[in-house]
């Protein structure tokens, strides 16, 4: 007994030690795994425990999820970005506008490193963009781990329906249809088995009326269930035919809108009454109209796909085309489609209802946006007697050319409204390419055609007094920048804010030299 007692005691101690050792190993393993999966600086987070730095911080960044892992000690910056010769890192815990209030790392040689990069700033957290390879992989039909006879899935495909593209996924409906068929078979088998069992009970009842009654009820219930299962299709069809139609799942393709393109159109065309002493143009009599019933009509030139979408932005109309005395040229966004989309959104959200009559894309395609009789909101003080034409540009339109160049030199600059923005740094040649407005030959040719068309049916004459730039009529606009008037056979009216070709490249070439050096 004593030997057995000692053995049992020793065994218990050994077991306890073994369990303790296993626990330590598991904790070590868990800690190793957790450390490996912790998030680095700049990753989105929900709490401190998710970050390698143990610091998850809320920012002023307008994202769906606006908490990010940031540094909290100088060593965090060294761990994240490495250490070069004679380099000193510091974790700045005060934050600033460029860091969106977040802690950021500062190096005496490399400068500032922010948790949020320019790529994060211009991304859309609500949208997923698929590559061609990813889209192709989604087309393939799924393969079940266990083959189900009679269920064969069809490959997904892209279909067109009334001009709209959809990603059609048929196999969800096919799967439901297959499950329905097998469910009917299973129910039928169960019903038959129940009828057989009820029949056996009847046979073995020995004449007992109670048992016979129960058996009869079982048979009747089984028959009713079988009839309901088989007749469910007809019942559902009579209730609503759509209930028995297993339609393909269709996902609509949407056109992506670059956020930079959306910002481009905010300050070039439209009403801006903040500038003092705005010049006033000729004023003609206009009347109001119901934009729901009085729709824009074609003037006979340009694409009509966007015509009428801006009808409710002004709701004033001229009495005659002869009242139109001016054509005003503006910078627009990167395309007619994106510009109109932004104007509509801005009108609905902020009540700033900008509009113009025509838009010319970079490829020279003309879009009519508004009936020529209707008054557009494109230049305060000049709207009632003018036609507005926007030209698509190749540069960011929310900042001046000088600020654009500064962005490319320093990585940061300010928009027309004073908002701080960041951009990828480039050399001088890259900055000039990115910031100098240049219109295409196709745009000039299309503009010539459009101006000739407008002058043929309105009170406008094709001369420098009647065809003007936005900068000639608005005290706080400089567009269209770098416009070559000789290509439409006119000489420009000069204005304080106007910078036309060839003077534009001369002036801003000097600005680029000052920023980058010659």
Average pLDDT over residues 514-518: 83
Q: Among residues 56, 64, 65, which one has the least CA distance to residue 102?
A: 56
In whole angstroms, what is the distance from residue 409 CA to residue 423 CA?
9
Check pLDDT > 80 for residue 518. Answer: no
Check pLDDT > 80 for residue 64. Answer: no
- Tell me the CATH number of domain 259-396+440-500, given options 3.40.80.10, 3.40.50.300, 3.90.1170.40, 1.10.600.10: 3.40.80.10
Q: In the structure, what pLDDT confidence band is assigned to residue 228 with cuts at 50, 70 and 90? A: confident
In whole angstroms, what is the distance from residue 299 CA to residue 346 CA?
27
Residue owning tokens 């838009």:
359
**Per-chain mean pLDDT for the chain:** 79
Average pLDDT over residues 217-232: 83
Longest dimension (CA), the chain: 122
Average pLDDT over residues 429-451: 94
Check pLDDT > 50 for residue 241. Answer: yes
**What is residue 365's predicted lDDT score, i.e. its pLDDT?**
97
Q: How far is CA 238 from CA 173, 224, 440, in A?
A: 20, 19, 62
Residue 217 neighbours by CB under 8 Å, 6+ apart: 198
The secondary structure of residue 415, as a DSSP letter, is -
Q: How far is CA 63 from CA 19, 58, 94, 319, 423, in A?
A: 47, 11, 21, 48, 18
Half-sphere exposure of 36 (CA within 13 A, CB side): 6
What sign does the CA torsion over 425, 426, 430, 431 have?
positive
Average pLDDT over residues 76-102: 84
Burial of residue 256 (CB within 10 Å: 0-12, 13-18, 19+) is exposed
Check pLDDT > 90 for residue 299. Answer: yes
Q: What's phi and psi for 454, nearest 5 deg?
A: -65, -45
Burial of residue 412 (CB within 10 Å: 0-12, 13-18, 19+) is middle
Check pLDDT > 50 for residue 422. Answer: yes
Query: Token pair for residue 434?
Result: 């990115």
H-helix or E-strand spanning residue 468: strand 467-469
Check pLDDT > 90 for residue 355. Answer: yes
Residue 44 neighbours by CB under 8 Å, 6+ apart: 63, 65, 67, 68, 69
In whole angstroms, what is the distance from residue 112 CA to residue 410 CA?
12
Q: Among residues 427, 222, 463, which one has the least CA distance to residue 325?
A: 463
Check pLDDT > 80 for residue 120. Answer: no
Q: What's phi and psi for 167, nearest 5 deg?
A: -95, 110
Q: In the structure, what pLDDT confidence band is assigned to residue 229 with cuts at 50, 70 and 90? A: confident
pLDDT tens-digit map of 344-354:
888 887 788 89
Residue 462 contacts residue 451 (beta carbons within 8 Å): yes
Average pLDDT over residues 62-80: 79
Residue 138 contacts residue 130 (beta carbons within 8 Å): yes
Average pLDDT over residues 76-87: 88
- pTM comes to 0.51
Q: In the structure, what pLDDT confidence band is assigned to residue 325 with cuts at 50, 70 and 90? A: very high
DSSP characters over 102-140: --EEEETTTEEE-SS-HHHHT--TT-----HHHHHHHHS
Q: In the structure, what pLDDT confidence band is assigned to residue 460 with cuts at 50, 70 and 90? A: very high
**What is residue 370's predicted lDDT score, i.e. its pLDDT?**
95
Residue 152 contacts residue 233 (beta carbons within 8 Å): no
Q: In the structure, what pLDDT confidence band is assigned to residue 280 with cuts at 50, 70 and 90? A: confident
Q: List b or e across 13-25, with b for residues whose CB sees 16 or more CB atoms inside 10 angstroms.
A: eeeeeeeeeeeee
Pairing state between β 89-92 and 104-107: antiparallel
Q: How far is CA 458 from CA 319, 321, 345, 464, in A?
A: 12, 5, 31, 16
Check pLDDT > 50 for residue 17. Answer: no
Check pLDDT > 70 for residue 233. Answer: yes
**% of the chain residues with pLDDT over 90:** 27
What 3-state DSSP class applies to 169? Answer: strand
Is pLDDT larger for residue 136 or for residue 179? 179
Is pLDDT larger for residue 392 or for residue 148? 392
């Amino acid at each position: 007994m004593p030997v057995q007692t000692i053995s049992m005691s020793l065994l218990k101690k050994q077991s306890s030690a073994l369990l303790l050792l296993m626990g330590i190993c598991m904790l070590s393993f868990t800690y190793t795994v957790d450390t490996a999966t912790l998030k680095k600086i700049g990753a989105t987070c929900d709490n401190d425990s998710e970050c390698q730095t143990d610091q998850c911080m809320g920012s002023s960044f307008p994202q769906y999820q606006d908490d990010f892992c940031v540094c909290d000690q100088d060593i965090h910056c060294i761990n994240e970005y490495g250490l070069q010769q004679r380099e000193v890192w510091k974790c700045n815990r005060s934050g600033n506008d460029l860091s969106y209030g977040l802690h950021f790392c500062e190096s005496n040689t490399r400068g500032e490193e922010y948790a949020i990069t320019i790529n994060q700033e211009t991304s859309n957290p609500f949208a997923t963009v698929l590559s061609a390879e990813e889209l192709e992989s989604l087309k393939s039909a799924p393969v079940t781990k266990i083959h189900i006879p009679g269920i064969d899935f069809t490959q997904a495909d892209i279909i067109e329906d009334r001009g709209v593209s959809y990603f059609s996924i048929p196999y969800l409906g096919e799967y439901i249809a297959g499950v329905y068929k097998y469910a009917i078979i299973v129910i039928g088998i169960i019903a038959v088995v129940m009828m057989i069992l009820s029949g056996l009970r009847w046979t073995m009842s020995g004449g007992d009326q109670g048992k016979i009654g129960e058996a009869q009820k079982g048979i009747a219930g089984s028959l009713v269930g079988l009839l309901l299962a088989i007749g469910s299709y007809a019942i559902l069809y009579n209730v609503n035919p759509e209930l028995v139609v297993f339609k393909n799942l269709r996902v609509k393709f949407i056109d992506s809108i670059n956020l930079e393109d959306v910002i481009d159109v905010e300050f070039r065309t439209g009403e801006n009454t903040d500038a003092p002493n705005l010049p006033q143009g000729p004023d003609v009599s206009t009347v109001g109209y119901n934009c729901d019933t009085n729709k824009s009509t074609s003037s006979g030139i340009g694409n009509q796909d966007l015509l009428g979408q801006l009808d409710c932005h002004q709701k004033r109309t001229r009495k005659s085309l002869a009242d139109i005395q001016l054509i005003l040229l503006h910078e627009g966004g990167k395309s007619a489609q994106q510009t109109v989309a932004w104007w509509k959104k801005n009108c609905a959200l902020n009540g700033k209802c900008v509009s113009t009559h025509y838009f010319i894309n970079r490829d020279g395609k003309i879009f009519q946006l508004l009936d020529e009789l209707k008054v557009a909101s494109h230049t305060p003080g000049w709207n009632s007697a003018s036609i507005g034409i926007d030209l698509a540009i190749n540069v960011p339109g929310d900042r001046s050319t000088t600020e654009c160049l500064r962005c490319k030199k320093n990585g940061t600059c300010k928009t027309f409204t004073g908002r701080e923005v960041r951009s990828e740094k480039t050399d001088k040649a890259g900055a000039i390419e990115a910031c100098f407005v240049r219109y295409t030959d196709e745009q000039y040719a299309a503009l010539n055609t459009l101006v000739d068309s407008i002058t043929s049916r309105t009170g406008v004459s094709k001369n420098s007094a009647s065809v003007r730039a936005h900068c000639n009529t608005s005290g706080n606009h400089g567009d269209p920048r770098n416009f070559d008037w000789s290509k439409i056979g006119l000489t420009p009216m000069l204005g304080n804010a106007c910078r036309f070709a060839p003077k534009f490249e001369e002036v801003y070439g000097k600005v680029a030299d000052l920023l980058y050096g010659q």
